[in-house]
Amino acid sequence: MTELIVQPAGSGTGPSYPTQQWLDAAKRARALSWLSLVWMGIEGGVAILAGIVAGSIALIGFGIDSGIEGIASVVIIWRFTGARMLSHAAEHRAQQLVAIQFFLLAPYVTFEAIQQLASGEHPEVSAVGMVLTASSVIGMPLLGVAKQRVARTLGSQATHGEGTQNLLCAYLAAAVFLGLAGNALLGWWWLDSVAALVIAGIALREGVQTWRGEGCCAAPALSPEAPPCEDECCSDG
């Protein structure tokens, strides 16, 4: 049974319906998530394959992160489809599902990075990985910022969490790129594993914050009477 997010507007009786601005934002959220899903599918497949060929744990972890982000995109598409658009319960479930994606990434990357450091295995140079991660450093912030702006209008922590995952993907891509470049130019093979450990720590922190609903848009904005978002992460500045 669908639970309306906002209580009666103005008179105190009857249901409150979303504004056109909110509905348009929901459509944008779905469109951005579809775009992410396609991007992540291609990026994840290429990164994992390149990582296996090069023996790069950070690059494989980057590919897995892309797959996890793809799952998060599916969650947001589900969240803003049909009657679930107006459901508190759907928003809460979506928020927790997005958080779980962070928790899936952190332990795997940590284990593999420590194992690589302990064994002293040297990843090979991966030109494909360097090009792929460089493209993500450029593209992911654009997607992430766009989703977080939409999240402010929607009052959706789940959408904000997905945008944060895109920004995390950019940080991850930068770290992996530096690791691959350091290995290729200076022979610093261990930099790959160090980059992976940094990524794992960031993923764990973001997972906890998303699960708790911290940091953004706690008040959904379905009606003109809904309180404005005052969280720092929801401001344009």
Domains and CATH numbers, the chain: 20-214 (1.20.1510.10)
Residues 6+ apart with CB under 8 A from 190: 117
**DSSP H helices in 120-156:** 127-154
Average pLDDT, the chain: 77
Average confidence (pLDDT) over 206-235: 53
Q: How far apart are CA 181 and CA 59, in angstroms?
A: 12
CB-CB neighbours of 203 under 10 Å: 27
- pLDDT single digits (tens) 113-123: 887 788 776 77
Q: Does the global pTM surpass 0.95?
A: no
Element containing residue 188 per DSSP (H, E):
none
3-state secondary structure of 169: helix
In this structure, what DSSP letter does residue 19 have?
-
